[in-house]
Amino acid sequence: MINLKHITKTFNTKDGDVHAVKDVSLQIDEGQIYGIIGFSGAGKSTLVRCINLLEKPEHGEVIFDDKDLLKITEKELRIERQKMGMIFQHFNLMKSRTVYENIAFPLRHLKMDKEQIDKRVMELLELIDLVERKDSYPSQLSGGQKQRVAIARALATKPKVLLCDEATSALDPHTTQSILQLIKKINKELKLTVVMITHEMAVVKEICDRVAVMENGRVVEEGDIVTVFAHPQMPVTKNFINTTNNLGKIDELIEANNPLVQINENQQIIKLQYQSGNTSEALISKISRDFNVDCSIIFGNVEVVKDSPIGTLITIFTGDHENIKKALQMCRDNDVVVEVMKK
Ligand SMILES: Nc1ncnc2c1ncn2[C@@H]1O[C@H](COP(=O)(O)OP(=O)(O)OP(=O)(O)O)[C@@H](O)[C@H]1O
């Protein structure tokens, strides 16, 4: 549905050129919730603004529904843009208009009569569960309610795609959850494709089907969410994943040679990561039974990513080096990802 090919966007500023997006290619399929994650300045916003041409890339192709948006007329582009709704971190509602008027606003440009507009706005108010607040002004709403109104406004013209630029970054964790559930619901019920920009891996983990990780204007890692969580390749991806659990803490403890992670010469600190199917208990008893290696757990965590559990154990293996080597090989043979953290 959205196919970005070799997108490059440079800003010419008085301090020199800023290469915000460098040769990015991505494919987003219909009905997907697609996450783009990266630290501040990675180029996420610029990339997503290239999808609806709020920013015009100097190189590349933006294919949307089989049309190259850079090669069509202004009039055709206006029509294609109507198929894309967008929401923002700070909601961008019109302060002097009521909730009802904010949602009705994009419909006023269409050839719809008053009754049709009213019907559509009421439908949307029901979808976002804010019927009773229709006459309120944005200043009278909570952040979560404002974002709900912004979602309703973005959906008013029945777009095929919703572009979300840090849509939950200004919200507390509880409200973030409710907005994510709403986005999930509209993705399912309205078959809407969603592109989510975020710097929070918890958001990606909660609702995305696929994710692209951006760093310095480039996509450095891309894949389905379970694979990226279970087998992250790049340091930046591992960093993001560690923010959703306490694994980063273990690295810090090892770095600081904390007593908890001090080992002697017949010991190694091993990280074991497994997906549902190969359960950790059977594995650990097998390690001690078959290889005469003791395996004690110092940290355990289970992430549920898209309903798929991914377990991580930080363990201390105690035993003969050769036996530990064989035990690790047995783990790998059983689809467990093994990382020797300290030996
Ligand atoms: N209009 C602009 N003019 C000049 N430089 C810009 C402009 N927009 C973005 N940039 C620069 O491009 C780079 C990428 O910015 P962008 O906003 O796309 O990153 P981001 O990953 O979305 O970060 P954030 O989450 O902080 O918005 C940054 O160095 C930013 O300063």
Residue 151 gets the label, from left (phi > 0), alpha (psi -120 to 50) or beta, of: alpha
C-alpha closest to that of 203 among 10, 24, 37: 37
The CATH number assigned to the domain holding 272 equals 3.30.70.260
Q: Of 242, 266, 286, which residue sits at a domain end?
A: 242
Task: Identify the H or E element spanning 44.
Answer: helix 44-51
Measured by CA distance, the residue closest to atom 1 of ligand 1 is 11
Work out whether the CA dihedral 113, 115, 117, 119 comes out positive or negative.
negative
How many whole angstroms separate alpha carbon 342 and alpha carbon 272? Answer: 13
Band of residue 209 on the pLDDT scale cut at 50, 70, 90: very high
Same domain flag for 274 and 202: no
> What is the Å distance from ligand 1's center to 44 Cα?
8
| Best mutation site among 19, 24, 44 for ligand 1 pocket (most ligand atoms within 8 Å of CB) | 44
Percent of the chain with pLDDT over 90: 75
C-alpha pair distances (Å), 30 with each of 90, 169, 188, 194, 208: 27, 25, 12, 9, 13
More confident residue, 246 or 318: 318
Do 137 and 276 reside in the same domain of the chain? no
164, pLDDT greater than 70: yes
Q: What gap in Å lies between CA 54 and CA 46, rounded to an integer?
A: 9
Q: Which amino acid is at 6?
A: H
Residue 285's pLDDT is 85
CA 58 – CA 61 distance, rounded (Å): 9
Q: Determine whether the shortest distance from the Cβ of 327 to ligand 1 is under 6 A.
A: no
pLDDT at 27 over 70: yes
Residue nearest to atom 28 of ligand 1 (CA): 41
Residue 198 Cβ inside 6 Å of ligand 1? The answer reads no
* Band of residue 320 on the pLDDT scale cut at 50, 70, 90: very high
CA of 92 to the centre of ligand 1 (A): 18
Per-residue pLDDT, 181: 95
- Evaluate whether 6 touches 61 at the Cβ level (below 8 Å): yes
Structure tokens at 176: 């973030």
pLDDT of residue 168: 94
Residue nearest to atom 17 of ligand 1 (CA): 45
CA distance 328 to 324: 6
Q: Return d(Cα 14, Cα 214) in angstroms, integer.
A: 25
Tokens 């560690």 belong to which residue? 242
Distance CA 224, CA 97 (A): 41
Asked if residue 319 and residue 254 are part of one domain, the reply reads yes
Q: What mean pLDDT is predicted for residues 149-175?
A: 95
Q: What is the mean pLDDT of the chain?
A: 92
Residue type, 112: M
Same domain, 185 and 275: no
pLDDT-based confidence at residue 276 (cuts at 50, 70, 90): low
- Mean pLDDT for 1-9 is 96
187 and 252 part of one domain? no
Q: Does 221 lie in the same domain as 266?
A: no
Structure tokens at 55: 């920013």
What's the gap in Å between 183 CA and the centre of ligand 1?
25
Give the mean pLDDT of 13-30.
95
Q: What is the CATH number of the domain that holds 21?
A: 3.40.50.300
Closest of 316, 320, 321 to residue 342, by C-alpha? 316
Q: Is the domain of 26 the same as that of 147?
A: yes
Same domain, 210 and 291: no
Please work out whether the CB of residue 40 comes within 6 Å of at least one atom of ligand 1: yes
Contact 133 CB / ligand 1 (< 6 Å): no
Give the rounded distance of the alpha carbon of 299 from its chain centre: 26
What's the CA gap between 48 and 274, in Å, rounded?
33
Residue 266 has pLDDT above 60, yes or no: yes
Span 98-122, pLDDT tens digits = 999 999 999 988 888 999 999 999 9
- Same domain membership, residue 122 and residue 28: yes
Domain that holds residue 114: 2-242
Longest C-alpha distance within the chain, in Å? Answer: 80
Q: Is the pLDDT of residue 76 over 70?
A: yes
- Both 188 and 252 in one domain: the answer is no
Query: Residue 27: what residue type?
Result: Q
Q: Which residue has the tokens 């997906």?
A: 275
Q: Whose CA is nearest to atom 7 of ligand 1?
A: 11
Higher pLDDT, 335 or 280: 335
Lowest mean pLDDT among 67-81, 125-139, 296-310, 323-337: 296-310
Q: Is the domain of 220 the same as that of 298?
A: no
Which class for 58: exposed (0-12), middle (13-18), buried (19 or more C-beta within 10 A)?
exposed
Last residue of a domain, one of 242, 269, 299: 242
Last residue of a domain, one of 219, 242, 265: 242
Exposed, middle or buried by CB within 10 Å (0-12, 13-18, 19+), for 111?
Answer: exposed
Q: What confidence score (pLDDT) does residue 280 get?
A: 63
Count up the domains in the chain and report the number.
Answer: 2
Which region among 30-34, 230-234, 244-248 has the lowest average model confidence (pLDDT)? 244-248
The verdict on 289 and 336 lying in the same domain is yes
CA dist., res. 32 & res. 305, Å (int)? 15
